[in-house]
Amino acid sequence: MAGPLAGIKVVEMNAIGPAPFAVMMLADMGAEVIRVDRLQSGFLNGDGSVIGRGRRSIGIDPRKPGATEVLLALIDAADVLVEGFRPGVMERLGLGPEICLQRNPRLVYGRMTGWGQTGSLAPVAGHDLNYIALTGALHAMGHTDREPTPPLHLVGDMGGGALFLVAGVLAALFEAQRSGKGQVVDAAISDGVALMSTMYYEFRQRGEWGGRGSNLFDGGAPFYGCYTCADGQLISIGSIEPQFYRQLLELCEIDDPEFEKQWDRERWPSLRSKLETVFRGRTRDQWCQLLEGTDVCFAPVLDFDEAPNHPHLRARGTFINDAQGIYPGPAPRFSRTPAKPGERVSNGAQTLEVLRELGLDDAAVATLRAAGAIA
């Protein structure tokens, strides 16, 4: 069965950052994607990368004579365009939204940046860490006695960036089906992370959020965090609700009356210290035998080598294991039109194929090659 986005045509201007990940998700869901690659070999997210799966690739230099016309012809037939450059780059290439939407009024023009298309920081460089720093989110992460801990680039690039771009593109596609009109989707990582922080801003407004490392979800609560076991391995506990917390105490055979004061924040450091002693008393495997599969809200802290082998993830097929290695499969799951990962592709591998589909003959292809527009 074809994925839920079968029939949707996407043109991707390849870039680094979250845009390629967002397009990977669209491709997994069945969209037909043509990726516009730089001519240089080895560009990130191209040349067989997992994130670059499920596309066809055309290698072209948009700055060379004739290239813009080719790209506009591609965009004319597309439902979605995704680009991840700084504001103004696409306009300078003659591929800005004003031109593209005039030619293709139904086009959804997805723009992925860190700071957004407007604002004082829009034209300057940045990375995931900077974008989440500005929103207040980074300041809340980590321990109180040291600098904030960078949370990989899952919070910014992938969470606040790629997933918001996917949501915006899908919403705009849905609206375009009714109105017949496309629009620009301005997806900024800083906007997305700020929105994901809504609950924490509400906590602050209610006076329920203190300094870093002293709160419910940041490691301050003894019943919500990670602990080291006798073998040096780690486990995670998330026994927030009273019934789950009671089960934790029962299964761990904890009868210390101080633990009855679950929500007394002044006792949290003492309770954490006592739980550290408890969990150091057994190995991670022993804790798994006791707690995994219960309502304690428990899971071992697995590394990237261990995670694909966990029975639950194996049963769901969360990871794919093929000749090229082990990597995550598509998500979410669809009951009738399942998503599936496409093949990996090398930069420019389908250049001639795509040009032929656009109607270019041998002479036109030779002209582009002579101009340096294609390899």
Model pLDDT, residue 44: 44
Mean pLDDT of 225-247: 98
Q: According to CATH, where is 3.40.50.10540 located in the chain?
A: 9-196+345-370
339 CB burial (10 A radius; 0-12, 13-18, 19+): buried
Mean pLDDT of 22-51: 83
Model confidence over 205-234: pLDDT tens digits? 999 999 999 999 999 999 999 999 999 999
Candidates 127, 139, 143, 310; catalytic one? 127
pLDDT at 324: 82
pLDDT at 49: 87
pLDDT, tens digit, for every residue of 90-127? 999 999 999 999 999 999 999 999 999 999 999 999 99
Q: What string of H, E and C letters represents the secondary structure of 126-187? A: CCHHHHHHHHCCHHHCCCCCCCCCCCCCHHHHHHHHHHHHHHHHHHHHHHHHHHCCCEEEEE
Answer yes or no: are the C-beta atoms of 58 and 375 closer than 8 Å. no
The CATH code for residues 224-314 is 3.30.1540.10
**Annotation says 191 is catalytic:** no
* pLDDT on residue 1: 65
Q: Name which of 39-53, 94-108, 284-298 the model is least confident about.
A: 39-53
Structure tokens at 227: 């602990």
The predicted model gives 351-359 an average pLDDT of: 96
Q: Which CATH architecture has domain 9-196+345-370?
A: 3-Layer(aba) Sandwich (3.40)
Provide the percentage of residues in the chain whose pLDDT is more than 90.
91
The residue from 28, 61, 157, 191 that is catalytic is 157
- Token reading at 252: 């761990």
Considering the chain, tell me which residue range(s) the CATH 3.30.1540.10 domain(s) occupy.
Answer: 224-314
User: Does the annotation count 312 as an active-site position?
Assistant: no
